[in-house]
Amino acid sequence: MKVYTGTDAALPPTAVAALARRAEAAGYDGIHVSETIHDPFLLAHAALQATERIVVRTSVALAFVRSPLLTAYTAWDLAKISGGRFHLGLGSQVRQNVEERYGMPWSAPADRMREYIGVLRAAFDTFHTGELHSYQGEHYRFTRMQPYFNPGPDDDTPAPPIYLGGVGRRMLTVAGAVADGLVTHPTNSDPRFLADVCLPALHTGAAETGRSTGDFELVAGLQVITGATDTDVAAERERRRRLFAFLYSTPAYRGALERCGLVGLQEQLASLVRAEDWGRLPHVVTDGVLDAVIPTARYDRLAETITARLAPIRDVGIAVGATLALPSDPAHDRLMAGVVSDLHRKR
């Protein structure tokens, strides 16, 4: 099993290189760079320059706020600079953010993403051969490439693998049809979602385009609660209890709670958050609730716990990876390195 860590939204750009070096030293296979308040491609470049072995993947860069050709140019350059260690992870974002935060037009995201990736593939082929490989669709077209603007022919640079982030069935199907991998959202990585929603959609998409899923990778965006000792774990559970209430009070995550048997909990949390009634949280976000949603274990039992959680999607013809945050305390990196090593043996 491959293991990836990620960057926190609050992490300043000047700290990305050090985090990437920590991940490489701890044995991780790669690092995911998110798009929140910084440009993900700049952060990816910093992580690539600071490391020698690990994959650096945007997880995820927003597709519809960028021209697909500009994304292709940037991804190609990062792949060339890194010797093929850059992976392009894309996502759609929600309509309000695309229209009101980025000032860009919105349309049906799954169909549009399929075409976006079509342009990317055509552009990568164009850069590789030096000859235009055109693409025309309803949302995008790529029909012009003068030699002056073509970085090819280039036989040395590998086309960056394309991963999607998605939750809805249609986007998951698109991932199976045209992407190289999928990264699931931390709020939608429970075993029932992965087994009952995600995998069938991926196989449906692959069947539509006649693809094999043998080279496809499903990366489960896991949340975990961990620590070196039982006392550390207990303290982390209390910290996460309040964060849990903030996150899962959002209506979009109601389904994730209901799949865990927690019907009505989202509405309760939303009511408490609106009232700022933090004192009642321990009575609502009980230990049973945390256990149902977020795997909890000390470092020395964490690999076993993660493996058990992902058991329903093992041996299904798709490679399975997982995200696992680096410890907040770098002094614990050696303990997490042991977890990563144990998970590697589960490949």
Burial track 154-192 (b if 16+ CB lie within 10 A, e otherwise) = beebbbbbbbbbbbeebbbbbbbbbbbbbbbbbbbbbbe
- Do 334 and 199 share a domain, yes or no? yes
CATH value at residue 331: 3.20.20.30
Q: Per the structure, how many domains does the chain have?
A: 2
**Tokens 């994304």, residue?**
71
- Do 94 and 192 share a domain, yes or no? yes
Considering the chain, what is the average pLDDT of its residues?
94
- pLDDT exceeds cutoff 80 at 315: no
- pLDDT exceeds cutoff 70 at 26: yes
- pLDDT exceeds cutoff 80 at 207: yes
Could you tell me the pLDDT band of residue 9, with boundaries at 50, 70 and 90? Answer: confident
Lowest mean pLDDT among 216-230, 297-311, 314-328: 314-328
DSSP state of 322: E
Q: What is the C-alpha separation between 231 and 142, in angstroms, rounded?
A: 57
What is the model's pLDDT at position 80? 98
- Do 261 and 322 share a domain, yes or no? no
- pLDDT exceeds cutoff 80 at 98: yes
The answer to whether the peptide bond before residue 98 is cis (omega within 30 degrees of 0) is no
- Do 238 and 199 share a domain, yes or no? no
- Do 57 and 73 share a domain, yes or no? yes
User: 7 vs 2, 31, 186, 314, 338, CA distance in Å?
Assistant: 17, 8, 14, 27, 20
The pairing of beta strand 141-142 with beta strand 135-136: antiparallel
Sign of the CA dihedral with 176 first, then 347, 311, and 339 last: negative
- Do 110 and 141 share a domain, yes or no? yes
Q: What is the number of other CB atoms lying within 10 angstroms of the CB of residue 153? A: 12
Q: What is the C-alpha separation between 23 and 15, in angstroms, rounded?
A: 13
Task: Give the DSSP H/E element, type plus range, for residue 40.
Answer: helix 40-50
Q: What is the C-alpha separation between 189 and 285, in angstroms, rounded?
A: 19
Lowest mean pLDDT among 40-44, 199-203, 241-245: 241-245
Q: What is the C-alpha separation between 277 and 133, in angstroms, rounded?
A: 59
- Do 278 and 303 share a domain, yes or no? no
- pLDDT exceeds cutoff 90 at 312: no
What is the model's pLDDT at position 347? 61
**Tokens 């669709």, residue?**
137
- Do 93 and 41 share a domain, yes or no? yes
**Tokens 């949280």, residue?**
281
The tokens describing 252, both together, are: 């979009």
Q: What is the C-alpha separation between 255 and 263, in angstroms, rounded?
A: 9
Report DSSP letters for 203-214, one per residue. Answer: HHHHHHTT--ST
- Do 140 and 256 share a domain, yes or no? no
Q: 3-class SS at 136? A: strand
Lowest mean pLDDT among 42-51, 221-230, 251-260: 251-260
- pLDDT exceeds cutoff 70 at 149: yes
User: 97 vs 64, 115, 125, 344, CA distance in Å?
Assistant: 11, 21, 32, 37
The tokens describing 214, both together, are: 């043998």
Q: What pTM was computed for the model?
A: 0.94
Task: Provide the CA 300 distance to its chain's centre, in angstroms.
Answer: 25
Sign of the CA dihedral with 156 first, then 157, 159, and 165 last: positive
Of 279, 294, 309, which residue sits at a domain end?
Answer: 294
C-alpha distance across the termini of the chain, in Å: 4
Structural domain harbouring 141 = 2-228+297-344
The tokens describing 113, both together, are: 């993403």
- Do 138 and 253 share a domain, yes or no? no
- Do 93 and 28 share a domain, yes or no? yes
Lowest mean pLDDT among 5-19, 214-228, 264-278: 264-278
- Do 223 and 257 share a domain, yes or no? no
